[in-house]
Each structure stands twice: as C-alpha cells, then as structure tokens.
Homo-oligomer: A and B are copies of this chain.
C-alpha cells in the first residue's frame, strides 16, 4: 500500500529566492491571521440559516464543484459516474463512496492546479488528514471526513467561526425573498452573512424565463413590471429591500462589458420591444447595456457598490448542456473589450464621487492595456481581483504584475473567493495573502518599495481595501 505524507509547507507559494522568501515570511506573518472578508461568493445561505450537517464528502466536495468534475470529465470520466444529475432524470451514480473513490483515482490530474492546493488544505487543516489522497487512502479519507461531518463542530456555523470569517456575502436574485437571511438575522447568531443583489434574471432578455421573471417581479413589488416605469420602480424597490437586509453591493454577470446611455424615450421603446418578445440579439445586448447604466444611476442614489463580471461564454458545450443543463464546467472566457464598452456608463457616472464600480475580467490581456489605465483614472472605478480561472497563484501574480504599475495598489479591492466551496474559503484567501506577500517581497528585495511600506500595503490588500470598497 502506497502512502505519502500530506504536508502543507509553511513557506508554500513564497518565491524561491531565499532573501525574497525571508521578506515574504515577515509580511505574511502580520496578515495571515487577519479575519476573512468574503464580499462576493456563492455559498448557500440555507447552510447558515439551518446549520444542518453537510451530507457526505462527495456531495460536499465533488458533485457540486465544477472546477473538480470538469477536469475529470476532460479526461474521459463521465459526469454520470460522479453523480452529476442528468437533465432527463436518467440514472447517475448515487453511492457517495464510489464517487469519492473515482475522484481519488484521478487526483493526480490536479497536479499543478489550484484545486489541488485548496483540497489538500481542506484535508489537512479542516479534517486533520496526514497522508496524501491516493486510491489506497481513499476509503480512509472518506471514513474520517464522513465521521467528522456528522460532528457539531463541523456544522456550517461552527466552521464559519473556526475560519475566522468576519463577513461573508452570498448572491441572490431580486426574486428571492431572502428567507434564509431573515432566519440568520433573527437567530441571534452573531455570524455576519449578507446578500448581494444579482438582477441578471430580470435584466437579461436572454435569461431563461425572462418575461415570467418580470411578471413575478411585478407581483413581489406591486409594480407593473411590464411597463418601463413600473419595471424601474420594481428594480429599485428590490434594491431597497436588499439594502435593508444588509446588502452593500449589486452584481452583474453579463456576456460583455457593453453599456449604453439612451435617451429616456429610446430606453422606454427598447424595453417595450424586449417585453414584446420580438427582438433581435442586438436589441438584447443594447438592453443589457442600457440596464447597466440604469443600475449605475440607482447606485448613485442608494449607495450600493456595483460589480460587473463580464466575458464568460456560458454553457459552451451544446451536448453537455442538453444532457446535464446549465453550469457544468463549460463556461469559457472570451476576449472582452472594456474601453469602448464602458464609455457610455463612465461618461455619465465614472467621475461621480457617489458612484463606485468594481470590474472583473476573464481576459487577462486587458489588465495592463485597459483596466489598469481606466482604474488609474476614473474615481468611480476599481479593479476586482484575479477571477475564476485566474484565481490561482500564477493568475494572481499576473494580476499584480500587470495592474500595479498603472493603477497602483489602492485602485484594487483585495481578494474575492467567489466560491460555493465553503470548506476551501480559508485556503483561497490564504493563497491570495501568500501571493500578495510574495509579490510585495520581490518589490522590497528589488528596492522598489521599502519594507515598512510593504507591510502597510499587505494589510491593505488583505483587509482594509475590501472593507472600504464594499462598504463593509
């Protein structure tokens, strides 16, 4: 039986050079224990509302995580064999232990990937496992984790506290009643779980059920959301509700960064065309662009910070979409323009001191060319961290190397984990802290920044900037 030690080296992710590493250690020592601020993510608020135990290792760590099953699928492992539900309800693997063994067998595929770093952290730090995950240790892993998940100190609230999370934000549609958030607030538990307003289902004419969503939005708010005025009033109404429930931000997941600033009569006419259902793709894009500017306008009024995440081609694999439905690891980044796309919105609100907008990208070629120059000029614009596929050591390094010289550190907003994989949240923040300290250490050793200043920047990147940017 082959076993190997699972160990998280205290110097992991620090630069190899000895002097640089020494500085990185000093910088990291002062930020590693700062509380986690997680201002943007996809954990399920019902976990914290109900505080039920997680079901089993496979259901917690494998089946819902498209980072994980996409890699196995790419190497010929069927999604059915990993328990991913089929759209037609056809049979899939239901034995969590069998799923876990299949994952363990293919764990070498993750060599060199951030998933490997996150998982090893969870195994070691959350579950106390000490041997590497292999086919031989798979059952031992399963037994230990399954047992612990049944214990009280592995319930969601206990982990939240153990992880030293100061605040975490989930993401909900305006159609959501925020019942779980209400439950959390009324429970007396001191954990701070906020919502964010994600109106894609009622802003994007191409969203499944868009028109029905508008009808529902009208019903919830008492507005006639099939008229332009009623629609805007309903959106604003729900923003107010979300804000009252603690939200400090909105989030927008558009295919592009395109914005528009139409005259009121044109915007109204466009809305009517959209609602009629007789529109072209270009109308839908124009409407999404106009609505971003409307959202910016409302942000100026209600103070919610606006996040824009463009550039993902959703559900690229037509075969898999038909067989398994949305969100099965086939979202692929596309080339994204920001300069022309954002101009209408920025012309109107980009210099307004009451507006704050955080922009993300999946297209790294825009870091130095577009986003850093834009953020280094517009008062309202800040850069979100390396995102999604780029939420990785090399991705974070490229983000700092390509944005800092033009935008500085202070036009960035700290780290977002953007994840539903709750157990790995501390690991993800730890990767960001280590990579930022490594980057700063290089600046110090190359005499581009004094070490006393690097300590201030490290703290800002870890804690201060995210609180300021998200008004937390």
Contacts and interface: CB of A to CB of B under 8 A. Distances in A.
Interface in A426-458: 442-443, 445-450, 452-453, 456-457
A347 interface: yes
Contacts of A4: 450, 452
A330 interface: yes
A113 B347 contact: no
A409 B372 CA distance: 28
Interface string A370-384: 101111111101000
A276 interface: no
A16 B374 CA distance: 31
A407 B378 CA distance: 35
Interface stretch (A31-39, A91-99, A337-345): A337-345
Contacts of A70: 376-377
A404 interface: yes
A74 B13 contact: no
A313 interface: yes
B392 A112 contact: no
Contacts of A409: 111-112
A182 interface: no
A17 B14 contact: no
A319 B350 contact: yes
A75 interface: yes
Contacts of A241: none
A17 B442 CA distance: 10
B111 A457 contact: yes
A408 B335 contact: no
Interface in A357-397: 362-365, 368-370, 372-379, 381, 389-390, 392-395
A281 interface: no
A404 B469 CA distance: 32
Contacts of A110: 408
Contacts of A319: 347-348, 350-351
Interface string A291-315: 0000000000000000000000100
B13 A16 contact: no
Contacts of A76: 353, 379
A406 interface: yes
Contacts of A343: 316, 318
A153 interface: no
Nearest to A406: B389
| Most B-side CB within 10 Å, residue of A20, A73, A317, A369 | A369
Given A75-B411, A332-B370, A373-B389, 11 more contacts: A4-B450, A12-B446, A12-B447, A16-B445, A76-B353, A112-B404, A316-B346, A317-B351, A318-B347, A333-B373, A334-B340
A-B pairs, top 3 by smallest CB distance, nearest first, are: A318-B347, A12-B447, A9-B447
